Amino acid sequence: MLQELNDKVIWVTGATSGIGEAAAIHLSQGGATVIASGRRAERLDALAEQLVEPFHLAPLDVADEQAVNECAEYIIETYGRIDVLVHSAGLNITERSWDQISPSGWNEVIQVDLNGAFYCNHAVLGAMREQGDGLIINISSWAGRFVSRVSGGAYSAAKHGLNAMTESINQENCQHGIRATALCPGEVATEILDRRPVPVSAEDRARMVQSEDVAELIAFIVRTPAHVCLNEITISPTWNRGYIRGG
């Protein structure tokens, strides 16, 4: 039987745009207590208009290890627990091919997409072990399952690492009642597309998976029984540009 969202304390990172924003709204309106984190304070303020009390806005750069730990500690001290982490914070760069990428560009992607994910996952695991229960949903990518020239080497490397990290959490923490899911979307019509080297048309974006679609899937994962672990899920547009180009 599916669980209810009511009374679940859910920390959503990357909540100021895209999948994270849609997830925060969907989970909050479904009855969860949402702690919404993102780098852009003004976007968090706008998000608040679509959230339902109780909620908390926590400006955060996930690449800042100390700030991540302080945010997790605040949640635990204030609410007594963290039931779910939805880690959606991530980025990519425009100059991503091997003939363009710089060490600074590589480091920017890895620091946010992989190290930032580690900081957030690591920050909640202790509390979840003490609780004997907890769910982590890491928003990975199609590029975490299939190396993608479109996504670039740094992003593919980070997301492959994120998938491996997620499964290692299951291997070492399943006996503590902790579950982790690597959610791997194909093309989703979010702001990250704005940094593509080749612009994506409005027509193509309309055919992609939408943030709200992924948010509904996230809510389903949250509601699954505690004895069920969805280790990895891949979701893509029916009109899959990668398949079409390959054909």
Query: Which residues are identified as catalytic?
Result: 155
Report the distance separating Cα 153 and Cα 96, nearest Å: 7
CATH number at residue 102: 3.40.50.720
pLDDT the model gives residue 247? 46
The tens digit of pLDDT for each residue in 81-115 reads: 999 999 999 999 999 999 999 999 999 999 999 99
Secondary element (H or E) of residue 138: strand 134-139
Domain assignment of residue 59, yes or no: yes
Q: Is the pLDDT of residue 3 over 70?
A: yes
Q: Which two tokens stand for residue 116?
A: 């930032």
Range of the domain at 85: 9-246
Domain assignment of residue 1, yes or no: no
Beta sheet of 178-185, edge-to-edge order: 55-59, 33-38, 9-13, 84-87, 134-139, 178-185, 232-235
In the chain, how many domains are there? 1
Domain assignment of residue 4, yes or no: no
Domain assignment of residue 3, yes or no: no
What is the rounded average pLDDT of the residues 44-67?
98
**Cβ of 150: how many Cβ atoms within 10 Å?**
17
Report the distance separating Cα 117 and Cα 68, nearest Å: 10
Q: Is the pLDDT of residue 246 over 80?
A: no
